[in-house]
Structure 1
Amino acid sequence: MAVSNVYYTNMRTTLQENLLQKLERLVRKAGMMDMDFENKFTAIKIHFGEPGNLAYLRPNYSKVLVDLIRSKGGRPFLTDCNTLYVGRRKNALDHLDAAYENGYNPFCTGCHMIIADGLKGTDEVLVPIDGEYVKEAKIGRALMDADIVISLTHFKGHESTGFGGALKNLGMGGGSRAGKMEMHNAGKPFVNQELCVGCGSCKKNCAHGAITIEDRKASIDVNKCVGCGRCIGACPVDAVDSMCDEANDILNKKIAEYTWAVLKDRPHFHVSLVVDVSPNCDCHSENDAAIVPNVGIFASFDPVALDMACVDAVNRQPVINGSYLAEQEHCHHDHFKDTHPDTNWETCIDHGVKLGLGNREYNLITI
């Protein structure tokens, strides 16, 4: 496979050009406007940010892409799937409230927001991929209904995968609730008995008879459970949760396979902003201080090369004094492994290459 081009611009501005104008110039130079958007539903996969976290991308960046796509006759929408964990984005109504709270609304972005896997995270498309770990990926329906996929990613650290880049934004972010369960574990939820009030909502939503209630406490028969995750969305007190028992290396490989399911057989393009590089995911309702200075904006048709370019750029940066990374032992010559030593981000990259998602090698073109 040929070396991929990754385009880059720093965060410096002039009186003649602000950051939003630089982003437009970057994606034009990278070739996004050569895509055929005419009358095409275009999903811009983004993370709206968990309220309380201030490291998520400002909605202004998305409007640049929306306006460009509309200028080519496209029909863009911003999208993400519901979360597996308990939080403000667990169902579509709360998810949209959180997005509005963080500034994402049609008046600011120029397009609508659609929660791709529906009200309770169960509206999905089964995508056959026959991967090493995933045979049938469970992807949010609205994301799969799109004709074109654009990823707009906040590049940062992650406590389970090392970093969160384009692959994680698309793979984990594109999975329905059942898909997220499959990536995180063997797909079996459990009931926290201390929180359970025995209301029966989980049992009513189980199509496989896997849930019983005794002494006002629910329990799940893992032999009957198919891992659809409906019980998680149905529980009003958040007593049902995912086991999250998958090894991080396998989690990373599953993310790569889910990314392949999202992108295969469709045009796609990717933008990552390496700014406010917090040590953990934007799914946290807080963000710790950045571990390195802001780097810039990257764009490419190759999501693997894009993630590699962002990793390399971060690893060239000095560590910010007082940050979480500054307090860690530096023995890996790798900021992400030093931040989370139990992770290995290269597993996802290498598996993505194996699947044909893209290349590790890239030409970095600075504009």
Structure 2
Amino acid sequence: MERSKVYFTNLRTTPSSNLLDKMERLVKKAGIESIDFKQQFVAIKIHFGEPGNLAYLRPNYAARLAGLLRSLGAKPFLTDSNTLYSGRRANAVDHLQSAMENGYNPISAQCQVIIADGLKGTEYREVEINGEYCKAPKIGSAIADADIVISMNHFKGHEQAGFGGALKNLGMGSASVGGKLELHCASQPQVIDTHCKGCNVCVKHCAHDAIHLNENRIATIDYEKCVGCGQCVALCQYDAAVMGDSDTSERLNYKIAEYTQAVLKDKPNFHISFIMNVSPECDCWNHNDAAIIPDLGILASFDPVALDQACADLVMQAPVTGVNKLSEMRPHEHLEGEDKFHLIHPDTNWKAGLEHAERIGLGTMRYELIKV
């Protein structure tokens, strides 16, 4: 397989070329204008950030990209799916409020903001890929129905996947709430009896007649019928229906790759990653720890696998500066060339996901880095 082209620009600016100008010049050089955007619905998949976490991408970048896409005839919108955990982004009402607090709204972003899997995380399309781990990933409807997918990725650490980049943003981030359950879990959902209020919502909405109230009005799951769709977890307002046992890091990354395959299936796609404020954990936390390396730059590619590999390589080559999680773990050590994400999260294996993504044809880990 030939090497994919990954384009890179550093963060140096001049009075005549700010970071927004550099990003636009980067994506044009990488070939974004070769896509036919005329009258096409374009999902800009982005993470709006959990309130309290300040490592998310500034909305200015999304606004500049949306403006460029509109100039090419597109109908762009910013989107993300609801979370599986109970937080400020677990339903569309709270999610949109959180996005607005972080600066993502139709005025600042200059395009509509849409929660891909609807009010309660139950609006999705099953995209058949017949994968080794996921046969028909559950993708948020707004993303599944889009004509073109563009990802804008904040590259950072992740406590389960190793790091979060293009594949994590697309595969995990585009999954409906039930899809996220499939990604995370090695087993079916469970009911915590003491939390159940007997409201019957999970019973009414189970498409497989797998959950009923017992004589004590406690929800009970029939595992002969349960398919692990996660609908009950998505709908429960009392944290009674919860995820089962978590999957391994390797299997999680394999599933993320297959979900990404479903998101991008038969769609033109393009990807932009920002190596800025590289926090050790995910943007889903309500806080962000100090960055583990200096800010490096912005990268763009048609190949999400090559893009993630290039970002990982740049982070590995970078020095560790300042007071942060890595410098406290490994004081007085030079960590250039070391896998910083594995040092922080030793139980994770990010490379397994890229290798699986390459096997299923999402892209290649071999790349040519072109500086712009």
State the partner residue of 1:347: 352
Q: How does 1:64-143 map to 2 (within 5 A)?
A: 64-143=64-143
Return the alpha-carbon distance in structure 2 between the equivalents of residues 66 and 144 of structure 1: 19
CA deviation vs aligned residue, 1:253-290 (integer Å, no higher than 9, x gap): 01001101111211100000011111111111111111
State the partner residue of 1:255: 256
State the partner residue of 2:316: 315
Q: Which consecutive unaligned segments of at least 5 residues does structure 2 have?
A: none
Give the CA deviation at 1:321: 3.4
Return the alpha-carbon distance in structure 2 between the equivalents of residues 94 and 240 of structure 1: 20
CA deviation vs aligned residue, 1:220-253 (integer Å, no higher than 9, x gap): 3333322222222322222322125211101100
State the partner residue of 1:304: 305
Give the CA deviation at 1:143: 0.5
Q: TM-score scaled to structure 2, two decimals?
A: 0.95
State the partner residue of 1:167: 167
CA deviation vs aligned residue, 1:40-66 (integer Å, no higher than 9, x gap): 111101111111111111111101110
Local SS of the residue matching 1:198:
coil
State the partner residue of 1:291: 292
State the partner residue of 1:60: 60
Give the CA deviation at 1:144: 1.2
Range with greater deviation from structure 2 (158-167 or 288-297): 288-297
Return the alpha-carbon distance in structure 2 between the equivalents of residues 110 and 213 of structure 1: 51
Contact 1:298 1:306 in 2 (8 A): yes
State the partner residue of 1:361: 366
Q: How does 1:206-221 map to 2 (within 5 A)?
A: 206-207=206-207, 208-215=209-216, 217-221=218-222
Return the alpha-carbon distance in structure 1 between the equivalents of residues 136 and 210 of structure 2: 23
State the partner residue of 2:325: 324
1:230 aligns with 2:224: no
Return the alpha-carbon distance in structure 1 between the equivalents of residues 205 and 135 of structure 2: 25
1:184 partner letter: H
1:48 aligns with 2:48: yes
1:280 aligns with 2:281: yes
Return the alpha-carbon distance in structure 2 between the equivalents of residues 328 and 346 of structure 1: 22
State the partner residue of 2:243: 242
Aligned-pair Cα RMSD in Å: 1.7
Local SS of the residue matching 1:299:
strand
Give the CA deviation at 1:183: 1.1
Local SS of the residue matching 1:203:
helix
Give the CA deviation at 1:192: 2.8
Give the CA deviation at 1:127: 1.0
1:281 partner letter: C
Give the CA deviation at 1:122: 1.3
Return the alpha-carbon distance in structure 1 between the equivalents of residues 351 and 370 of structure 2: 23
Local SS of the residue matching 1:106:
coil
Give the CA deviation at 1:214: 4.7
Evaluate the alpha carbon distance shift between residue 221 and residue 327 of structure 1 in structure 2; reply closer, same or farther with a 3 A threshold.
farther
Contact 2:114 2:142 in 1 (8 A): yes
Evaluate the alpha carbon distance shift between residue 154 and residue 215 of structure 1 in structure 2; reply closer, same or farther with a 3 A threshold.
same
Local SS of the residue matching 2:78:
strand
Evaluate the alpha carbon distance shift between residue 264 and residue 201 of structure 1 in structure 2; reply closer, same or farther with a 3 A threshold.
closer
Give the CA deviation at 1:12: 1.4
1:116 partner letter: A
Q: Percent identity among equivalent residues?
A: 57
How many residue pairs were aligned? 367
Give the CA deviation at 1:93: 1.4
Return the alpha-carbon distance in structure 2 between the equivalents of residues 217 and 284 of structure 1: 31
